[in-house]
Each structure stands twice: as C-alpha cells, then as structure tokens.
Amino acid sequence: MNIHQINLNQLKGFETPFYYYDLDLLNETLSKAKSAADKRGFHVHYALKANFNDRILGLIQEKGFAADCVSGNEVQKSIEAGFSASQITFAGVGKSDKEIVLALKHQIFAFNVESIQELLVINELAKENGVKAQVSLRINPNVDAHTHHYITTGLDENKFGVPNSELEKAAAVLRGCEHLELLGLHFHVGSQITDINVFKSLCVKVNEWKNWFEERGTAIKVLNVGGGLGVDYYEPDAHPFADFEAYFEVFDKFLERTAQQEVHFELGRALVAQSGSLVSKVLYTKSGVKKNFLILDAGMTELMRPALYQAYHKIEKLGTSENDKSLNYDVVGPICESSDCFGKEVSLPESERGDFIAIRTAGAYGEVMASRYNLREEIRYVYSDQI
C-alpha cells in the first residue's frame, strides 16, 4: 500500500517514528529486477548493507537472489535468512581473521579480495582450516561514477581494490597460494549512479582486465561488476522503479564474455530504497527571525544520510488537500547536533503539532544506519500488510 493511501487514523495506532515498508512495491521491484537479469543469464546478489530487516531479507531470498556481504555478521545473517552458502560473496576492504574463518567454515561462494596481503591471510587461514577458498580479485578500474565523493569507490584515490600497479604481483602471489582458487574478477565503481554511461565505461575496463589475465594463461569464470544503480529520490511516485532493463542491457551489449563465463551483480539500493519511508510526527513548530522550523520526533539517529552525505530525501506531509496553504520550513530532528536536519527551506502545507510527516525513499541505508546516540529508542518498523 502506497503511503499516501493510508488512512491517518490507522497510523495513529503506531508509535512514531517508524520505518514504513510497502511490501507490494518491494515485491514488484524484485520481480522486475529478477526478470531483467534472468532473461540475460545474469546473477544478482543482494547487498545486505542496504537493508537487513528480517521481512525484507526473507522476501529477497524467496525471489531467488543471492547475497553480497561486507561483514562476518552479514554472512551469518544471510545463512539464517535462508540464503545458501554457495550464493554468498564476502566483500570488504578490512575483513578480520574471525570473519574470514566464519566464512571459510560456511564454505561460501567467494571472497572478493582487496589486497595482496589479504590473499596471503585468507590462504593461511584456509590452510589452517583444511579448506580451499574461492576468491575474486577486486580491481580498481579508475572509473569516475559521477556521484557523491563519499560513495565513489572506483578511482585510484579510493581505498578499495588492488591497484593496477600491483596486479602482476597479485597474479604471481595467487599462483603460489595452494589454498586459494581464483574464481574471477570483481569491480565496483560507486553508488547511486544515474548516468548509464558510467556502466559503459566500466564494461570497457572489465574487458581490458579480463583479457589481461587470459593472455597470461589465467582462466576467469566470474565477472562481478558490482552494483551502484541509482534511484529517483526527487520523484519517488513518478519513478518507483529503477530502469533495470536499461541497466542490464548495457552489460549484455558491451561486456565481452564467453558462454562459460558468469556475470554477477551486487544490487542493494535499487532493490529496496523506494519501498521504505520514515514516518514521523511534528513535535513542535517554531518561527525564527528568518526561518520556520518543523521539529520532528525522528532525527539523524533514525535517518543518517542527510547529515552524513547532505543527501536529499523528498519530505511530505501526509493527509493534505489541494487548498492547504504552503510555507517553507527547515525540517529538523530532536538530536543535539546542528547537522540533525532533513531539509532546508522545504515547501510543505502549513503544519502543526501532531501532523504526520513522511521522508521518502528511505528503504536503503536508513534503518541499517540507525543509532542509539542521545540514548534514543530502538528503531521501529511497520509493514503494509499490518495496516
């Protein structure tokens, strides 16, 4: 049920703030993505870091997606949610020994390895545990994602991946690691990418590095091209779905591969973002010398992205009519930080204490980044089938 279809009297039975998840929209999004990938023979891993809510994970697993994890706890959570270990990849630039051993014991599909030293560590731990680990080598392709600098990962200046200058050495180290099997290559250039040409540029780089390894006698079974597909934060109702067809078509058209090579993706935000909204109540209205403020009962502890990235989320008052007078508000939270602000000079229908406010497109990197700062209460959530 779309959040605008909810009777406000129904919302009054739930304590705010809470995350509202539109399960119908989520299901439709997952179906569109799965269909677009399956028709091209692509494999999609869901990036748990976007949202690991139990109901959300359950629906994603039931749809047949694999899992992409960036911590040992995410690996364990995936197993508990029903994902097969053979569907789990483990990425991340700083895997601890404990996390690596956990993944080895589960015999996951692959580690996405980000440095030569990490290759040596996984090899040694695999030897100690009497197993062989499958690895994909993450290469930094030096492709500009044209996104916020905090969520760009594919440039030479970023901390991620094996630098191009060390690939010869990495290949030599791999040949000497008896407890590692090179499965493939891994790339990821960033997040919230809306320029499809970025993915064309990525394909060119993937082709180059695949050929580089094959020319040196190294077989590549898996090309993992990461994720990063963006969504429309500005008009979520007009564009509730990312353009999965166009996204996968770029790789189908420009990625060079044999019939035996698999292409894997790691989508997170594009699968879950639009299905979630943060619902809050107005605690107070306040007029300053030059500004009007709406002070909500939700803050940066519930949705960190605006404070951390200066990210835009559409803010709406629920239960409005066309004749309502509009005012510009700074929409802020209760946290004792000046950065606790969801939006400045936001045009909204004139609001008062007790009104419901929805902060849209919050299904990704919302609930998972919530904190207890200021000793805030645990995050709450409501699903559309509860209303």
Determine how many CB atoms are found less than 10 A away from the CB of residue 251.
Answer: 21
Angle between helical axes of 97-106 and 116-128 (0-180°, round to 10): 60
Query: What are 16's strand-pairing partners?
Result: none
pLDDT, tens digit, for every residue of 7-62? 898 898 999 999 999 999 999 999 999 999 999 999 999 999 999 999 999 999 99
pLDDT of 184: 96
pLDDT of 158: 55
Helix boundaries (H) for 111-225: 116-128, 167-176, 197-215
Burial zone of 372 (CB within 10 Å; 0-12 exposed, 13-18 middle, 19+ buried): exposed
Counting DSSP H helices and E strands in the chain, the numbers are 11, 16
- ∠ CA 143-149-153 to the nearest 5 degrees? 45
Confidence label for 1 from pLDDT (cuts 50, 70 and 90): confident
Residue 245 has pLDDT above 90, yes or no: yes
Domains of the chain: 3-18+274-386 (2.40.37.10), 23-273 (3.20.20.10)
pLDDT of 5: 87
Question: Which of the 8 DSSP states describes residue 386?
Answer: G
pLDDT, tens digit, for every residue of 311-368? 999 999 999 877 789 999 999 999 999 999 999 999 999 999 999 999 999 999 999 9
| 3-class DSSP assignment, residue 217 | coil
pLDDT, tens digit, for every residue of 376-386? 999 999 999 99
Residue 381 makes CB contacts below 8 A (sequence gap 6+) with: 18, 19, 20, 21, 53, 367
pTM of the full structure: 0.94
